[in-house]
Structure formats: C-alpha cells, structure tokens
Amino acid sequence: MTIPKQSLRRKEITTVAAKLFKKHSFDRTTVRMIAKDAGIKSGSLFHHYKDKEEILYAVIEQGLSGALDTLKKTIKETNSAEENLKAAILRQLKTLHGKDKDAHIVSIIEWSSLDEASRQQLIVIRDEYEAHWQYIIDAAISEGLLQGQPRLQRLFVLGSLNWTIHWYKPKHGVQIEDTADEFYRFITKSG
C-alpha cells in the first residue's frame, strides 16, 4: 500500500521532483529521472506515490502552501498599506527567485498538467493566496496608492511579478531589492 502521506522521505523526493519539473517540465521528466536523483530505483517511487501525477500534486501543494505561509507572515509584520504592498512585492519576488523557488514556479507553470480532481482540491489554497493579495491591493486603493477596479489591479500587479520567471536572472551586483523598488514605483507614482 501507499498510505504514508507525510513522511520525511516523501518530502525529500518531492523537493527533488520539483527541481526536475522546473528544469525539464512535468511531461519531460520521467519517473526514472526522479528516482535517479533521489537515489532509488524507479519502481520504488510508487511506494511513496500512487502515480506520477501524485508527485506533481505534492510539488504544487508544497509550492502553494509555502508561498501562502510567507505571504501571511508578511502581512502580519507590516502596519501601513504602503509597507504592506512594498513588502508583499519583495516577498513575491523572493518566493519566485529565492532558494525555495522550484516548487512555487512549478505550481504556476504546471497547473494545467493536473487533472480536474487535483485542481479542485488545490484551488482552495490558491484562492486563499489570491484573497490575501486582494486584501493588500484593496488597502492600497483605499489609501490612494492605486486606482481602478480592484480585481484588475491585482491581476495586473501579480501578472507582472509572476512573469519575471520568464526573464529574471539573479546577478551579483543587481539585487532583487532594486527590482522590487522599481516595480513599486512603476505601479504607484501618484504622490
């Protein structure tokens, strides 16, 4: 049987899989590749997961949960709407480009590789994540930092940030903080 949903070993393998899914995509990553990097034989994977798709599910859950936790903390740690927005932008960029990036990037890119049932389960976390962002955006609009339709503002802001996965390359010299600052000025610049 498979059953053990929260073992340490499973988490390790999930992290290995996240790295591969991000590098090669889900479809082009074979179970043999995952097994090799995890140091086991391919058949042994199915002791931990019932099928390959469950590995993707585990990766995406890890990515979404991690990002949600970070976002929650960020909101708690700040006081004004401006601080909130600034901090959330920086956190989002760090989530996408910091050391735990793999799982979260996979959760964005491979969402459509999940089957409908898995998506229905994970959408709960995703919705909560978006709701927290919406809260930040709404507050920013109330303070006059942003103007316009709340939902569209959130989609524009998050879209720009998420799109950085397609072009941002960390370099020594250019810090992610600089990009975050420039982006904050990009979306506000009213005062």
Partner DNA sequence: TTGATTACCTAGCGCTTGCTTGGTTAAAAT
Partner DNA sequence: ATTTTAACCAAGCAAGCGCTAGGTAATCAA
Residues forming the site for DNA (CB under 7 A): 1, 3-4, 7-9, 29-32, 35, 39-44, 46-48, 50-53
Of 27 and 178, nearer to DNA (C-beta) is 27
> In terms of CB distance, is 40 or 162 closer to a copy of itself?
162
Give me the 147-166 binding string for a copy of itself, x by CB under 8 A, dash otherwise: xxx--xx-xxxxxxxxxx-x
| The residue to which tokens 């709340």 are assigned | 150
Cβ-based nearer residue to DNA, 17 or 85: 17
Q: Which does 144 bind (CB under 5 to 8 A by kind): DNA, a copy of itself, none?
A: none
C-beta of 26: minimal distance to DNA in Å? 8
**Shortest distance, position 174 Cβ to a copy of itself, whole Å:** 10
162 interface partner picked from DNA, a copy of itself, none, CB below 5 to 8 A per type? a copy of itself
Summarize the chain as % helix, strand, coil (round to 5): 75, 0, 25
CB 154 within 8 A of CB 133: yes
Tokens, residue 185: 């000025």
Determine how many CB atoms are found less than 10 A away from the CB of residue 143: 13
Which entry of a copy of itself, DNA, none binds 40, CB below 5 to 8 A by partner kind?
DNA
25-64 binders of a copy of itself (CB under 8 A):
25, 27-28
Full 3-state SS string of 36-105: HHHCCCHHHHHHHCCCHHHHHHHHHHHHHHHHHHHHHHHHHHCCCHHHHHHHHHHHHHHHHHCCCHHHHH
